[in-house]
Structure 1
C-alpha cells in the first residue's frame, strides 16, 4: 500500500518507536468509547434501527457492522472496510477521536444507503483494500471479485473501472477454478508498488497472482501459489500447500500468506516465479506434516490477515483474539513473536471490549511507521494504535 510514502501493499516504512505488549488503542472507529461493542452504533451505544430493514443492514457514516480485512492509508485518505454495510468508509485524515464521521463511502450512494446487489457502484462484502499508488483495489468477497478503480475515488457512489474474477460488474459466479475466476474469494488482497496483484482464493486453497493490475474484466492470472495448476483444489500441509487461506501480503519481493486452516503463516523470502513454489519457512509452527493450533508466543489459532513493512510482521491471530508482532523478519520456522496486542501477555486468549482488548480481529494494516489499525471484527470497530 501507499501510506505517507511510496511503499508496499498494506504497509509503511520502519521507525524508531515500536508497539508493545498489551498497549491500549488510541482511537476507536465505529464506537463512541472503548467499552461499547454494538453493531451500527448510533453514537450513544445503541444499535441504529430502521423500519423494514434488518439491524445489520442499517448504518450511518460513523457506524460499522461485521468489518473484515485490512484498511489502507493512501493519498491522505484512510480507507476502512465496513463489510456488513457493503461499503468502504473514507476519512480525509486519520481520525484522532472516537466515532469519527467518514467524508465519503465507496460501494454505496451515500453514508446512509444500503444496497447489496453487485454492480460497478455497489460492493457486496468489501474486505481488503490495497493500492499500487495510483489505482485502488477492493476485495469484494461475497461477489467473488476484486474491484479496480483506475483513480482514487474522492466522493460517494464511485464506479469501478475493472473487475477481476468476473466477466462483468453484475456477475457474482462462484465455484469455478479457471485461470481468470475465483472458486471462493476470501477477500484477502495485496498489491505491490510495482503492480503485482495477489488474491486469496479460499476454497481453492491457493493464491492467484497477476504480474500487473488487470485493465480488462476476467483477465487470466499468471501464477498460482499453493497449487501446481489452476484447477487443483486439494488442500495440504507442506510448504507448497494451504487450507482455507485468507490474508496475503507482498512488497513485490517477499510474500506472506495467512494459512488459516493450518494455523500458520507461510513466508517466501523472494517472489515466487512458478506455480506451487514452496515457501521458505512458516510462522505458528515448526512442523510441515501436522497442523496444530495453540497460543503462546509461537503458535496460532486460525490466523486470518497479515501485513508487514518488509521487516516487521503483524498477524491477526483471530482465534486467540490478538495480534502477533515480529519486530524483525524471521529466519527460521516457528520463530517466537516479540509482542502481542489484545492480550496482556502471550498466554491470554479471551475476547474483551476494552482499549486493550480485541474480539476476533480480522484485519491489520500500518497507517505509517508509527500507527497501526486493527479490524476488531467482534467488537464492530477499527482500533488505531500509536507506537510507543
Structure 2
C-alpha cells in the first residue's frame, strides 16, 4: 500500500478549516502558489498570486514557518506584477515553474514570456536575476519577442526542469517542449523541439487532433534519465518517451487516455484510476510517478514507473478517499490531507512537495509504503 503522510503545511492556517488561508503578502502567507522545489538543503515556493518567490534556506521544521528570502518584490509585504511597479528587470508576472541546476536558480516567469536565471543561488532578498531565456534582455516582456514564434522565443512558458544533464522548458503557449544538452546560454537555440515539426510552428496539436507527438498545453516535466514525462494538461493526459527523445518523435506512453488520439474529458462523474482532468504537474523518484490531477483535486501515483503503453491505472490516490472522489477538499473543510487544485509538484528522495494552489499553501509529504 502506497501512502503519503503530510508533514508540513506552509502558508497561513485555515480559520476553522472552512475559510481559505490568508493570502495577503507576508513571510508566512501564500496566494495560489503554482510551483515548488525542494532538495536536502532548501525549499522554494513560487507564490504566483503575489508575483514573487519565497525561499526557506533550510527545510521547514514547523507548520506555517515564515520564509527567509523573497525574490521579485522589494520586501515581504509588497505584491503585484513587475515588483509593485518597479518594472520587469527584477519583477515577475505570474511566475510558475522553478528548478535548481548546477547551483543556478531558474524561474519560469510565464506572463513575461521568459525564463529567468540566477547564476548563483540567491543569499539575500530582492536579488535580481543575472540572465534571461526567451527575451533579448530583462526589460522586454512581449510574447515571442513581439513577433512570430522562433526557435529562441517563448510564449507562456509554465514549466522548467533539469533532468539527467538536459534542461527543459515547457513552452506552453507555443505548444512545444524545448530541450538543451547542458545549461543553455541566453541566446542558444535548443537541441530539441518536441511537439512541433520545426522551430517556427506553434499550432495546437500541430493543427489537427491529438497525436503521440503533439501537445495542447504542455505544462510540466519530470524524468529519471530513462524516461521523460510531460504533463499535457490541455489534452488531459501525460505523455512519456523511453528513452528520452533527442529529436521530435512519437511518445511511448500515454496516461489519462485510452490511446494517443484521445483527449476525453467528462467532469462531475467518477474518474477512476485511469482518467485525468487538466494534469498540471508531474514528479518522479526512482520507483514512482506522481501526477497532479488538478481539476479532480487529487494526486495519482504509479509504482513502479510506467514506461510504455496506454491508459494504465494508477495504484494510489492522495487527496480523495478513493478513486471515485474529485471534490475540492472532498467537499468538506480544509485538512492536512485534502487538496484544492494542486498545481505544482517536486519529489526528492522520500519527500513530495505539493503546491496546493486553491488552498493557498505548500504541503510537504513523506512517502510510506506499507
TM-score (norm 2): 0.88
Answer yes or no: is the 8 Å Cα contact 1:37–1:381 preserved in 2.
Answer: no
- For residues 129-160 of structure 1, the C-alpha deviation after alignment (integer angstroms, 9 at most, x for no partner) is 11223211111111111111111111101121
**1:30 is aligned to 2:11:** yes
**1:278 is aligned to 2:247:** no
**1:357 is aligned to 2:338:** yes
Q: 2:62 aligns with which of 78, 93, 97?
A: 97
Q: 2:309 aligns with which of 308, 329, 332?
A: 332
- For residues 65-105 of structure 1, the C-alpha deviation after alignment (integer angstroms, 9 at most, x for no partner) is 12112x11246111111011111111122223221100111
TM-score (norm 1): 0.84
Answer yes or no: is the 8 Å Cα contact 2:346–2:352 preserved in 1.
Answer: yes
Hey, what does 1:292 align to over in structure 2? Answer: 264
Structure 2 unmatched runs, 5+: none
Deviation at 1:193, TM superposition (A): 4.8
Give runs of aligned pairs for residues 62-77 of structure 1, distance below 5 A: 62-69=28-35, 71-74=36-39, 76-77=41-42
Residues 73 and 251 (structure 1), Cα distance of their counterparts in 2 relative to 1, 3 Å cut: same
Query: Secondary structure of the residue that 1:365 maps to in structure 2?
Result: strand
Give runs of aligned pairs for residues 211-222 of structure 1, distance below 5 A: 211-216=181-186, 218-222=187-191
Hey, what does 2:325 align to over in structure 1? Answer: 348
Q: How many residues align?
A: 347
For the residues of structure 1 that align with 2:303 and 2:201, how far apart are their CA atoms? 36
Select the structure that is richer in strand: 2
Hey, what does 1:315 align to over in structure 2? Answer: 291
Hey, what does 1:230 align to over in structure 2? Answer: 199
Hey, what does 1:9 align to over in structure 2? Answer: none
- For residues 323-360 of structure 1, the C-alpha deviation after alignment (integer angstroms, 9 at most, x for no partner) is 11112111322111111111011110000122221111
Answer yes or no: is the 8 Å Cα contact 1:131–1:192 preserved in 2.
Answer: no
Answer yes or no: is the 8 Å Cα contact 1:120–1:161 preserved in 2.
Answer: no
Deviation at 1:37, TM superposition (A): 5.2
Query: Secondary structure of the residue that 2:291 maps to in structure 1?
Result: strand
CA RMSD, Structure 1 to Structure 2 (Å) = 1.9
Give runs of aligned pairs for residues 89-128 of structure 1, distance below 5 A: 89-117=54-82, 118-128=87-97
Select the structure that is richer in helix: 2
Deviation at 1:215, TM superposition (A): 2.9
For the residues of structure 2 that align with 1:310 and 1:242, how far apart are their CA atoms? 26
Question: Looking at both structures, which has the greater relative contact order when contacts are Cα pairs under 8 Å and sequence separation is at least 6?
Answer: 1
